[in-house]
């Protein structure tokens, strides 16, 4: 070790740095522009540290209005970043920049662990590799630093290939200046406009002002607001609304604003909005949550899937202290910190929805916009299905709009199930013969006409211990009538003609206007589900349906005394399918048959 400080010294990087540099430059970051995020984060950290230490006179106070300054020089091919932070002495330069994974920030944080959280400054970067991201864009990096309270300045220089040099330097004030000698293929970053865009994208909410040189003048380019970090009492509705519009690129006002700070084992701030109108891009297609993740105000990604797809309409920001800046995609998916944040967000959004659902009129707006998306949670997230189901409103045979709780409150004696009929079209559902008999019993039926309605009731199974039951599978409610000899013969003949298309032909006690109706087997999919499966080209499964015939219908009575009913059976079967919104098995043959029958009747 040299005896005089003033001598220039060349040292090798600490162990592993060479390899790690390679890793950082080539794989840790997918996006070169984030070198600026890392260097700005370091400058903000250093300024925070100095501000904090100055409180106890351990460092000289910051200059008035400290900032980070960024200047690009196209002639010299350099970008210079200057701060007034805590600075580094000679050995700190060697320690902090010459050794990897020995993050000065984590050492500093550890030394602060004894302090109360609210006294700690907010420090970005716990990982110890951020600085090296500079070598993604620069083939030489100079760091000129003077420690706050120190007398001399030192310069650290490296081309990132195993060695660095330390030498005395000149710097008037405490702080750090980083000069990046840009690689030939990184010229784009010398454009002030490009720099401005990058800074705004990543660091718009960093509290420390960031100034960019343009035409020889420095001016602030960031907002520094981080609205989510401010106390609710200090934020007006307009502030929220304009932030929401900025975030969601939308023009409406938020329908709900959910702003809170989680304290304790997990610390984060969240500001979430539910839009009051559908976005231009259909939410059904956009599917992945775009809630932005920030770490200590610095933007990280909107790809962290902070909310499940059934809440993908929520826009907003989550800002945590508990993650490093440089989280990779893999870490984003698996870190328990994010898992816990995700859970907390879902619960918070659901409880907000529950509160808002009390105002039925207002809640309708929400359901019209996003009810379909929310419904997806019924089968994607069985853990929350009951809560979600409790929020939804349905059309029923008794009410234009009802919740499941209201439905249950109206249950007559003897009814223990929640009956539903799923189909494509609300008006057609209302007229379905499947409903016949339910009114007499006083049983209310939910009419579900969303495409996904065919799926979720079977998946969700029950709500508050009441099972969902498809009316097209509720044949058991209506015991078949005793068959007279003539009717029995008709049933038998029909059964023979239809073969294994039906499991049974019975005499209905509930049909009024329709000649016949299909009833799905209790086990297996109901009729609406079978229809969807068929449309999707999936093979049918489960037992074939039952055919109930109306013993008072002319069409049925006319069959008495006939021995073979091949054509008639096919016709009845097709008519029953048509009533369900299904196509006859062979539409052309069906049309010919009807035409022939009409001709006979006419002749």
By CB under 6 A, name the binding residues for ligand ADP: 38, 42-43, 45-46, 83, 85-88, 96-97, 103-105, 125-131, 176
Choose between 176 and 222: whose C-beta lies nearer to ligand ADP.
176
Burial of 251 from C-beta contacts in 10 A (0-12 / 13-18 / 19+): exposed
Of 448, 514, 510, 513, the residue nearest 474 (C-alpha): 510
Cα–Cα distances in Å, from 527 out to 28, 434, 449, 477?
Answer: 53, 10, 13, 17
Residue 3 beta carbon to ligand ADP: minimum distance, rounded to whole angstroms: 26
Residue 50 beta carbon to ligand ADP: minimum distance, rounded to whole angstroms: 9
Q: Please provide the distance, in angstroms rounded to a whole number, between the alpha carbons at the two ends of the chain.
A: 118
Choose between 42 and 269: whose C-beta lies nearer to Mg ion.
42
Could you give the CA distance from residue 406 to residue 397 in angstroms, rounded to a whole number? 13
State the binding partner of 104 from ligand ADP, Mg ion, none, CB within 5 to 8 A by kind: ligand ADP
State the binding partner of 502 from ligand ADP, Mg ion, none, CB within 5 to 8 A by kind: none
Could you give the CA distance from residue 280 to residue 277 in angstroms, rounded to a whole number? 9
Choose between 131 and 420: whose C-beta lies nearer to Mg ion.
131
Subset of 268-307 contacting Mg ion (CB under 5 A): none
Residue 423 beta carbon to Mg ion: minimum distance, rounded to whole angstroms: 58
Residue 108 beta carbon to Mg ion: minimum distance, rounded to whole angstroms: 12
Subset of 432-491 contacting Mg ion (CB under 5 A): none
| Residues 416, 403 contacting (CB under 8 angstroms) | no
Count the alpha carbons within 13 Å of 221 in the hemisphere toward its beta carbon.
24
| Residues 154, 166 contacting (CB under 8 angstroms) | yes
Residue 119 beta carbon to ligand ADP: minimum distance, rounded to whole angstroms: 20
State the binding partner of 97 from Mg ion, ligand ADP, none, CB within 5 to 8 A by kind: ligand ADP
Choose between 41 and 378: whose C-beta lies nearer to Mg ion.
41
State the binding partner of 243 from ligand ADP, Mg ion, none, CB within 5 to 8 A by kind: none
Residue 46 beta carbon to ligand ADP: minimum distance, rounded to whole angstroms: 3
| Residues 210, 70 contacting (CB under 8 angstroms) | yes
Subset of 123-152 contacting Mg ion (CB under 5 A): 125, 130
Could you give the CA distance from residue 205 to residue 222 in angstroms, rounded to a whole number? 7
Residue 128 beta carbon to ligand ADP: minimum distance, rounded to whole angstroms: 4
Choose between 96 and 257: whose C-beta lies nearer to ligand ADP.
96
Choose between 97 and 323: whose C-beta lies nearer to ligand ADP.
97
- 3-state SS of 15-38? CCHHHHHHHHHHHHCCCCCHHHHH
Choose between 69 and 441: whose C-beta lies nearer to ligand ADP.
69
Subset of 29-48 contacting Mg ion (CB under 5 A): 42
Residue 134 beta carbon to ligand ADP: minimum distance, rounded to whole angstroms: 9
User: CA 91, 93, 97 angle in degrees (round to 5)?
Assistant: 130
Helix (H, G, I), strand (E, B) or coil at 156: strand
Choose between 43 and 291: whose C-beta lies nearer to Mg ion.
43
Q: Which stretch binds Mg ion (CB under 5 A): 120-128, 450-458, 488-496, 526-534?
A: 120-128
Residue 324 beta carbon to Mg ion: minimum distance, rounded to whole angstroms: 9
Of 581, 279, 267, the residue nearest 449 (C-alpha): 581
Helices (H), 357-504: 360-380, 385-391, 404-409, 426-430, 438-441, 456-460, 485-498
Choose between 129 and 491: whose C-beta lies nearer to ligand ADP.
129
Q: Sign of torsion, CA 185 188 192 194?
A: negative
Under rule CB under 5 A, how many of the chain's residues touch Mg ion? 3
Of 106, 94, 72, 293, the residue nearest 182 (C-alpha): 72
Contacts with Mg ion, residue ranges (CB under 5 A): 42, 125, 130
């Amino acid at each position: 070790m040299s005896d005089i400080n003033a001598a220039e010294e060349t040292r090798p990087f600490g162990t592993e740095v060479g390899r790690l540099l390679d890793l950082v430059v080539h794989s840790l970051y997918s996006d070169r522009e984030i070198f600026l995020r890392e260097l700005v984060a370091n400058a903000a950290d250093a300024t925070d540290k100095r501000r904090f230490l100055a409180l106890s006179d351990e460092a000289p106070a910051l200059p008035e209005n400290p900032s980070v300054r960024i200047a690009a020089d196209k002639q010299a091919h350099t970008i210079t970043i200057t701060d007034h932070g805590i600075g580094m002495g000679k050995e700190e330069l060697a320690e902090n920049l010459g050794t990897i994974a020995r993050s000065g920030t984590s050492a500093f944080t550890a030394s602060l662990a004894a302090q109360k959280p609210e006294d700690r400054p907010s420090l970005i970067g716990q990982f110890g590799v951020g600085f090296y991201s500079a070598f993604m864009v620069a083939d030489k990096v100079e760091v000129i630093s003077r420690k706050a309270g120190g007398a001399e300045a030192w310069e650290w220089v490296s081309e990132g290939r195993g060695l660095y040099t330390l030498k005395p330097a000149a710097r008037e004030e405490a702080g750090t200046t980083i000069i990046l000698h840009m690689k030939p293929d990184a010229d784009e970053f010398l454009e002030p406009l490009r720099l401005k865009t990058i800074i705004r994208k990543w660091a718009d909410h960093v509290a420390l002002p960031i100034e960019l040189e343009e035409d020889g003048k420095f001016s602030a380019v960031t907002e520094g607001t981080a609205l989510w970090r401010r106390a609710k009492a200090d934020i007006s509705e307009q502030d929220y609304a304009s932030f929401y519009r900025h975030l969601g690129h939308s023009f409406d006002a938020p329908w709900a604003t959910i702003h809170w700070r989680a304290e304790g084992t997990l610390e984060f701030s969240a500001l979430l909005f539910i839009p009051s109108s559908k976005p231009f891009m259909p939410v059904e297609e956009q599917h992945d949550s775009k809630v932005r993740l920030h770490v200590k105000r610095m933007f990280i990604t909107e790809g962290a899937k902070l909310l499940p797809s059934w809440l993908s309409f929520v826009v907003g920001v989550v800002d945590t202290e508990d993650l490093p800046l440089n989280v990779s995609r893999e870490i984003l998916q698996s870190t328990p910190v994010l898992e816990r944040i995700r859970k907390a967000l879902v619960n918070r959004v659901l409880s907000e929805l529950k509160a808002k659902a009390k105002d039925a009129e207002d809640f309708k707006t929400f359901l019209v916009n996003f009810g379909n998306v929310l419904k997806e949670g019924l089968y994607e997230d069985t853990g929350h299905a009951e809560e979600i189901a409790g929020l939804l409103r349905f059309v029923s045979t008794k009410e234009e709009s009802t919740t499941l709780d209201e439905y249950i409150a109206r249950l007559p004696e003897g009814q223990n199930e929640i009956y539903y009929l799923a189909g494509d079209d609300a008006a057609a559902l209302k007229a379905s013969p499947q409903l016949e008999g339910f009114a007499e019993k006083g049983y209310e039926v939910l009419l579900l006409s969303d495409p996904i309605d065919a799926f979720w009731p079977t998946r969700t199974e029950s709500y508050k211990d009441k099972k969902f039951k498809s009316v097209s599978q509720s044949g058991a409610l209506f015991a078949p009538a005793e068959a007279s000899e003539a009717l029995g013969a008709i049933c038998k003949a029909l059964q023979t003609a239809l073969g294994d298309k039906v499991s049974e032909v019975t005499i209905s006690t509930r049909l009024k206007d329709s000649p016949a109706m299909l009833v799905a087997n209790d086990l297996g999919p109901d009729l609406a589900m079978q229809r969807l499966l068929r449309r999707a080209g999936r093979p049918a499964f489960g037992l074939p349906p039952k055919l109930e015939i109306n013993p008072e219908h002319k069409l049925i009575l006319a069959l008495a005394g006939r021995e073979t009913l091949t054509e008639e059976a096919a016709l009845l079967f097709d008519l029953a399918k048509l009533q369900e919104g299904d196509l006859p098995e062979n539409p052309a043959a069906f049309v010919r048959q009807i035409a022939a029958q009409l001709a006979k009747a006419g002749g």
